[in-house]
Structure formats: C-alpha cells, structure tokens
Amino acid sequence: MRKEIYITDYNCVTPLGFDVSSNWNALLEGKSGVALHKIIENQEPFYASMIDSEKLNKEFNRFFDSAQNDSTGFTRLEKMFLLSLKPLVEKHQISDETAFILSTTKGNISLLKNQETLPEGVFLSNLAQKIADFFGFKTKPIVVSNACVSGVMAIALAKNMIQAGKYKDAFVVAGDEISEFVISGFNSFQAIGTDICKPYDKNRDGINIGEATAAVYITSEPNQNEKFSFKVLGDSAINDANHISGPSRTGDGLFASIKNAMTEANISVEKIDFISAHGTATIYNDEMEAIAFNRMGLQNIPLNSMKGYYGHCLGASGLLESIISMESALQNTLIPSKNFEETGTSQPLNIIKENQPAEIKYILKTASGFGGCNAAIVLEKC
Amino acid sequence: MRQLFWKNVKMKMMEKTDICTIQNSKIVLNNNIIFETPTENFSDFAKEAYKSLELNYPKFHKMDNLSKLAFLASEMILKDEDHSRTALVFANRSSSLDTDFKYQESINSQQNYFPSPAVFVYTLPNICVGEISIKHKMQTENAFFVLDEFDEQFLNDYAAQILRSGKADKVLCGWVELYQESYKAFVYLLTL
C-alpha cells in the first residue's frame, strides 16, 4: 500500500494579488492581469500579465524587515519567490526530511543582458539554493525545468519522492518572470496574441506571457489543524515524440499522460468534476488539447484555461492553475474560461462560460509545452 | 550502517545495463572506446562523431550543442531497439545556458536585433529529451532536472519510482552538462 500524499496549504503572487484570497476575489469579478506593457525598447508594447514592481517592492519590504534583506539583495523574481513561500514556511516546520522543489523555465535570465560571462545568479541551482538558504531548508534543492509542464511535474515529483520514502514532506515553489528574453523569443515565433488571449475561441491568435510565483505544501502526514487537504492521486508526463516546438496533431502525449494519471488514481472518466486545462490560445495547442480530451471521452467535463486572467506564466503556470482549481473546489465555484465566445476547435469541449456553483471533488490538471512534453495530475478534495 | 545496507539492497533490485560517457572528445560505451578524435572543439567533435558512427539523421545538424551531446550518448545505448516503454530522466547543472547566452547576444543590441525562433526553441534544457524522444518515437515518461552537481542517487531514486509504478519498463538516465567548450555526458540504462 502506497502512502497517501496531500496538499494542505498554498499561496500565490500574481498581478491579481499577493495571496490566494485576493486572487480568488479578482477572478470572481472577472478581472484580468493582462494589459499592454512596453517591454522591449523601440518596439510596440505587448499584451502581458505583469506584476507592478512598485507594489511588489512595497509588499516585500512590509514582510521582510531590513535585517533580513539588506545584506544580499534579491532580484525581482527572488522577491516573488520569497513572498509566495513565506506564509507556508511560517505554518509548517522544515525538517531534515523536508524536500525543497523549485519549478522554473528561465529563472533570473534577465541578469544575462549585456554580460560577457555568466553571472552566478543565472544558474537555476544557485537561485534555488539562495531561496532555500533564506528559509533554512536542510536538503538539497531540486529544480524541475521541463518547459511549460514544470509546475504540474513539480507536484508529481513531490508526491513520488515522498511515496518512495525519500522525504516526509515538501515545499514546492514555481515561478517565472516576464523578460525581454522570453517576449522576444515568443514574438520571433509569431506566437504572441494581439489582445488579451482567447483560449479555445474561434478568434484566438496567440499567447500572452505572464509572470507569477506559486507555492504549495505537500505531506504524507497532515496534522489535525489543516484547513483543507487535497490528495494527489495520480500523475504522468508523456512526450509526444513529434516535434520540438509544434504541438502534436494527434494529442498522443497529452492523451497518454491523462490516461496514465487516471489509471494510477484509479478513477473513471465520469468521476472527474472539473478540468483545469492548459489552453494557451495558440491555434495548434488548443486544437491538440481538444483532440486529446475527446479521445479520453472528457469532452463533457467542465473545463477552463486561466490564461485569459494570468497569461502564460511558463514554469509557474501549472502550479498556479492547480492552486486556483483547488480554491475553486473549496469555494464550490467554477470560474469561466475568460474570453471564450465561440467554439474554435474541431472537436467540442465543455468550456465554462460564467461563474457557476458546483460540487467539485475530483480535479484533472493538464499542461503541455515545448520539447513535446505534457503532464497531467489528478487531485481529490478530502 | 543501516542506511548503507538498505541502499545496497535497493541497488541490487535495479540493474544498470549500459553506460555511455562522452568527454574530452571521446565516446566510451561500456568501457569500450567507440569514437575518439584529437579535435577539441565540441561542434567539430560532434560532427566527426556523427559521420564516423554513420548516424544518418540530418536533424542532428539543426540541434544545439546540448542536444547533440545528449543525442550522441543516448544513440550509443538505444540503438535500433524497441524503446516504447523506456522513460527518459535527464539532468545537468547549466540548464540551456549555452544556447541562452547565444540567444541573448542576438538581442543585446537594438541596432543588431535578430532573435531567431530556431535558436530560441533550444533555450529550454528539456528540448534535448524531446530530440531523443522524436528519434526513437518514445512516447514515454520524461523529465529534466537542474542540480548543482551530478547526483546519481537522485536520478536513480526518481527512475526507481517510475519503474515501480509500472509507468515504464526501462529508464534511460543521463547527466548531460555542457557550457561552451566544457562538456560531459554520463548516460545509462536502468531496468528493474
């Protein structure tokens, strides 16, 4: 009998708020963090979901006194990481059997600009160690860097390593920030949308890049005082083996990831109450997802993409969206897939169009990304 | 002592069948030198190895250096066998910083701004795992981790739980570290 693994606490830092409740309230009101921002000199502004730096600094200084932050100095992204983790670390003790898992795609990549040699801060393991040292983690940090599925995989990694007896519990944090590096890259792919993105819609024309950090606490031994708990029932991350940047036309990898995760969870399709999908709002990604969900027989399950609210937060998106979907379950409310108007995939999906009350017990969370990677996890509200 | 004993038992349960290392312009498979050249530059070394080993996979030339390194080492072990149930678990220290640095150079100057999608796509470390998956049509579990140093125990622990969960029958594990002219691959196949 394998140990049961629970998520019992979470937090996030996004343009819609610096904790889960402010995010939830903004989502209920249909607010989006996406707006026009000038990111690259001499270029037109891009639609992106960006945290106000002044607000971030104010919040950081409010929570971290000068004694803690005068000596080292933290990058913008590091401040976001620290703010998202702090409330969890205060509530749950770190032991020498506690894992520290960090999910990111590009970390402090902004530090690379105009450099002739690599600054220490751009190494992802240095970034993770810096955050770990700040809070006094005792085990070696593990960085998951698997493109846009990293955040979902980070939850799976914590589950699997605790089940294998390597750790008792884990703090999982995920984050990426908006940078000229990433914006110029996606722009070179002509993948950036011309407005707030429209996942699954007929008129979708590309992604918005977003930024956020998110953190969860995962344990095999929840204590009696936890306000909530979600069991991590199953996971899988299967490659399409098709193309390094183009989504699969068959949805093979996503289909297999969902199938494996549900097999491990030992639940049937009709038990799933809600799908928190990836939905980047590119033509080919959303079409691929629709095919995979239909192949699984999941086309009637209520589904949303959070990209219209937060943009695509890369390494943070999977964890952030998992948190919002758990909050959705706790609040018994399904949140609409923002900006969806008209079906834009060749196969139908049950896309949520307005806030609606719902009993949510089983959640399926999926993600897909460059390199042909896909990931799925199944969560159960306890 | 107790911990050591437990580790030994675990190692016996998982079997390491093939090992390939690439460093200092040399490819070694299971203690046999497969390819060696005095060429020091990585790109030239990779090109010579590709030709000499008759890999015949034109996509190789489009890959970035990290992918070439991971691909060459994996090719030695995977060969033409069936790997539809072989997972891929890779890690390194420098992520994709080798290509990140090149991409950043293409956008440093406003006067000379030429971001390329063909370069940008390789600014993720897991792309090398995607390349191996594509070559061998491996629609299997895959993961990429960034660690401050090679940690075989971690890779083996992660591989072991994949094998025990039944999500794969074999796991190709790899440490594939590359930044500019400094590189090392250590890739091995694990089965239960």
Provide the chain A residues 181-200 that lie in CB contact (below 8 A) with chain B: 181, 184-189
> What is the pLDDT confidence band of residue A223, given thresholds at 50, 70 and 90?
confident
> Which one-letter amino acid corresponds to residue A341?
E
By Cβ distance, the residue of A106, A253, A373 closest to B126 is A373
Q: Using a CB–CB cutoff of 8 Å, tell me whether A253 touches chain B.
A: yes
Checking if the pLDDT of A71 tops 60, the result is no
pLDDT (tens digit, 9 = 90+) per residue, A348-373?
999 999 999 999 999 999 999 999 99
Contact A153, A369 (CB under 8 A): no
Three-state SS at B47: helix
| B13 in reach of chain A (CB within 8 A) | no
Tell whether B123 lies on the interface with A, counting CB pairs under 8 A. yes
Burial class of residue B29 (count of CB atoms within 10 Å of its CB; 0-12, 13-18, 19+):
middle
- Mean pLDDT calculated for residue range A227-245: 97
Q: Is the pLDDT of residue A70 over 60?
A: no
By Cβ distance, the residue of A109, A125, A238 closest to B146 is: A125
Quote the CA–CA distance of A349 and B131 in Å, as a whole number. 31
Is it the case that residue A108 has pLDDT exceeding 50? yes
Closest Cα in chain A, distance from residue B31 (Å): 30
Contact across the interface for B134 and A252, Cβ inside 8 Å: no
Q: Is B57 at the interface with chain A, CB within 8 A?
A: no
Q: Which residue of A has its CA nearest to B109?
A: A114
What is the per-residue pLDDT for A16? 98
Residue whose C-alpha is closest to residue A40's, from A188, A197, A181, A194: A181
Distance, CA of A93 to CA of A217 (rounded, Å)? 11
Q: Quote the CA–CA distance of A27 and A306 in Å, as a whole number.
A: 9
Give the list of residues 6+ apart from residue A169 with CB closer than 8 angstroms, or none: A92, A95, A97, A98, A99, A162, A217, A218, A219, A220, A221
Distance between CA atoms of residues A298 and A286, nearest Å: 15
Instruction: Considering only the beta carbons, identify the residue of B133, B147, B157 that sits closest to A125.
Output: B147
Across A171-185, B8-22, B84-98, least confident range: B8-22
Q: Nearest CA to CA, how far is A62 from chain B (Å)?
A: 32
Which residues, in sequence order, are CB contacts of B160 under 8 Å at separation 6+?
A164, B10, B13, B14, B190
- How far out from the chain centre does Cα A341 lie? 24
Q: Which amino acid is at A88?
A: L
- B167 vs A: CB within 8 A: yes
Q: Return the C-alpha torsion angle A353, A359, A364, A368, nearest 10.
A: 20
Query: How far apart (Å, rounded) are the C-alpha atoms in residues A27 and A274?
Result: 17
| Eight-class DSSP state of B103 | H
pLDDT at A324 > cutoff 80:
yes
ipTM entry: 0.97
| Pick from B101, B120, B139: CB nearest A239 | B139
